[in-house]
Each structure stands twice: as C-alpha cells, then as structure tokens.
C-alpha cells in the first residue's frame, strides 16, 4: 500500500487501464504507459513528465519545481508538484499519461528496450 492516499487513488484509477503498469522509480512507486514512466511519488511530491512549456507554466504558478533526484541533473520535461496542490494531482497525472503515450507513439521513434 502506498503511503499517500491521493497517489494511491491515482494508481488505483490508472491501473484500470490495461496499458498502464506499476513500477519503482528511484525507490518510489510510479506508473508507466508504453513502458515509459509518466508519474511517480518522490518525497511527498508528485513527479510528472510533461511538455517543457507546461512544466514552466507549473513552475511559474508556484509549488512546482524542476525535478532533481539529488544528483544535480534536471530535465526540462520533469516537474515535481508539492502537496499544496494535491487536488490537481489526478488531472496532472492524466495529462502526463496522455503526453507520454503520445510521444511514445510517434512514428520513427526508436524502439524501446525489452
């Protein structure tokens, strides 16, 4: 059982879709679609893969920051959203799932490792 109730609800709802699987990312529970991670819980914050413009919008609106797992490498497409915005987490997770699924389905995209 995941310690955060909001994230647990996101997991439970997401796993109703057979294309979604659970995994562990940096020792934390997460979800993936098309074998690509789209969200996970990290130190009480929701981490999401979103388009760079959306990430910047979230950062600019407060309580979100570029995700850094602690080794100083951040990505313009990964954002962590704090617990002050938990009401938005389910919608953000859906947005991240749709983004990752769309990017993964692009023609000409390199095959993923199996």
Residue 114 confidence (pLDDT) above 60: no
Class of domain 5-104: alpha beta
Instruction: Tell me how many helices (H) and strands (E) the chain has.
Output: 3, 6
Give mean pLDDT, residues 53-59: 95
Q: How many residues does the chain have?
A: 114
Single pTM value for the model:
0.88
| Of the candidate ranges 19-23, 53-57, 103-107, the one whose mean pLDDT is the lowest | 103-107
111: alpha, beta or left, given left = phi > 0 and alpha = psi -120 to 50? beta
**66-108: pLDDT as tens digits:** 998 887 888 889 999 999 999 999 999 999 999 999 998 877 6
**What pLDDT, on a 0 to 100 scale, did the predictor assign at position 63?**
81
Question: Which one has a higher pLDDT value, 72 or 15?
Answer: 15
Q: Is 87 exposed, middle or buried (0-12, 13-18, 19+ CB in 10 A)?
A: exposed
**30-52: pLDDT as tens digits:** 999 999 999 999 999 999 999 99
Residue 19 confidence (pLDDT) above 70: yes
């Amino acid at each position: 059982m995941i310690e955060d109730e909001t994230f647990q609800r996101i997991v439970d709802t997401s796993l109703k879709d057979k294309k979604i699987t659970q995994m562990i990312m940096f020792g934390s529970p997460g979800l993936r679609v098309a074998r690509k991670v789209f969200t996970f819980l990290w130190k009480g914050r929701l981490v999401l893969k979103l388009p760079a413009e959306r990430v910047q919008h979230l950062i600019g609106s407060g309580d979100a920051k570029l995700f850094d797992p602690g080794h100083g490498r951040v990505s313009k497409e990964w954002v962590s959203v704090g617990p002050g915005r938990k009401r938005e987490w389910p919608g953000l997770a859906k947005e991240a799932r749709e983004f990752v699924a769309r990017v993964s389905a692009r023609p000409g995209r390199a095959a993923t490792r199996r």
